[in-house]
């Protein structure tokens, strides 16, 4: 059913820390690896060893140069499904293949119903959906729905593959509908933002912006160094220090 659930029990999603992401692609391939054998398997790669290689991925990392009057910085930017609260990718689907789960808010595709019209990918402003031309259906991030509840995994491993992999701890996971959850508090603390809020999709995933920097972190407010003014200059200072 492509009508949206009136209310989802939980709002599961990711929080991505742009202040910490080094663009190492760990989350990208961890996602690919899990999901190519997972719920939407396979994530087909066309022409994998040729000149027109094009595979299906659920998570991609861009890099940008952000220049403001404060200076420039390089920002690595992971992009994947934001599991929006009002996802048009769901409502535009003519077959009911695309749907938002009422229980946890995860946006999924029922592959058996998908006719591959691609309209959902047009309706998604974020480029979260990728078409698998080999099987003719759309595929997308499942928030590792086959990990987070998986009885066959150790309980501690029941987090999305990208979160488990991230070497710099730049990815977080939880219920963003619960203001008391650790992720919600992280978002509140760090001023997490929505992407393209003006479009009104109300993304669940949040991005933590890079911390303001002015070439001087607040923790180091060092007074300028003054030359030692002792008799004999620096060497005199050394002698005096040693005699103390």
Contacts of other proteins in 51-70 (CB under 8 A): 51-57, 60-69
Q: Does 190 bind other proteins (CB under 8 A)?
A: no
- In the complex, the smallest distance separating the C-beta of residue 105 from other proteins, rounded to whole angstroms, is 10
- In the complex, the smallest distance separating the C-beta of residue 54 from other proteins, rounded to whole angstroms, is 5
Tell me the Cα Rg of the chain.
24
Number of residues that bind other proteins (CB under 8 A): 170
Cα 5 from Cα 158, distance rounded (Å):
25
Q: Which has the closest alpha carbon to 30: 128, 150, 131, 159?
A: 159
Out of 13, 17, 107, 143, point to the residue binding other proteins (CB under 8 A): 17
Signed CA dihedral, 231, 235, 237, 243: sign only: negative
Cα 139 from Cα 130, distance rounded (Å):
5
Nearer to other proteins, 141 or 145 (CB): 145
Q: Does 141 bind other proteins (CB under 8 A)?
A: no
Q: What is the bridge-based pairing of β-strands 12-17 and 206-208?
A: parallel
CA angle 209-31-192, nearest 5°?
15
Q: Does 140 bind other proteins (CB under 8 A)?
A: no
Nearer to other proteins, 6 or 224 (CB): 224
Any idea what DSSP says for residue 193?
B
Cα 216 from Cα 198, distance rounded (Å):
33
Q: Does 179 bind other proteins (CB under 8 A)?
A: no
Q: Does 210 bind other proteins (CB under 8 A)?
A: yes
Q: Does 231 bind other proteins (CB under 8 A)?
A: no
Q: Which has the closest alpha carbon to 177: 225, 244, 105, 124?
A: 105
- In the complex, the smallest distance separating the C-beta of residue 7 from other proteins, rounded to whole angstroms, is 14
Q: Does 26 bind other proteins (CB under 8 A)?
A: yes
- In the complex, the smallest distance separating the C-beta of residue 83 from other proteins, rounded to whole angstroms, is 14
Out of 81, 107, 143, 166, point to the residue binding other proteins (CB under 8 A): 166
- Judge whether 107 and 88 are in contact, CB under 8 Å: no
Q: Does 7 bind other proteins (CB under 8 A)?
A: no
Residue at token pair 């398997």? 41
Residues numbered 79 to 138 that lie near other proteins (CB under 8 A) are: 79, 88, 90-97, 99, 101-104, 108, 110, 113-119, 121-127, 130-138
């Amino acid at each position: 059913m492509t009508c949206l659930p009136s209310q989802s029990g939980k709002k599961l999603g990711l929080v991505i820390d742009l202040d910490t992401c080094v663009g190492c692609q760990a989350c990208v391939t961890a996602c690919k690896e899990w999901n190519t054998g997972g719920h939407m398997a396979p994530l087909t790669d066309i022409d994998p060893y040729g000149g027109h290689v094009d595979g299906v991925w659920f998570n991609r990392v861009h890099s940008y140069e952000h220049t403001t009057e404060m200076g420039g910085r390089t920002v690595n930017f992971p992009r994947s499904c934001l599991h929006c609260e009002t996802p048009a990718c769901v409502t535009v689907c003519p077959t009911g293949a695309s749907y938002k789960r009422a229980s946890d808010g995860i946006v999924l595709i029922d592959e058996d119903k998908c006719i591959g019209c691609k309209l959902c990918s047009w309706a998604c402003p974020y480029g979260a959906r990728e078409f698998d031309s080999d099987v003719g259906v759309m595929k997308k991030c499942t928030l590792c729905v086959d990990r987070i509840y998986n009885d066959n995994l150790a309980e501690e491993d029941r987090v999305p593959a990208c979160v488990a992999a991230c070497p710099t701890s730049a990815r977080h996971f939880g219920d963003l509908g619960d203001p008391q959850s650790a992720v919600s508090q992280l978002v509140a603390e760090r001023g997490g933002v929505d992407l393209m809020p003006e479009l009104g999709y109300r993304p669940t995933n949040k991005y933590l912006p890079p911390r303001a920097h002015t070439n001087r972190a607040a923790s180091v407010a060092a007074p300028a160094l003054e030359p030692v003014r002792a008799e004999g200059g620096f060497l005199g200072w050394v002698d005096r220090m040693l005699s103390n």
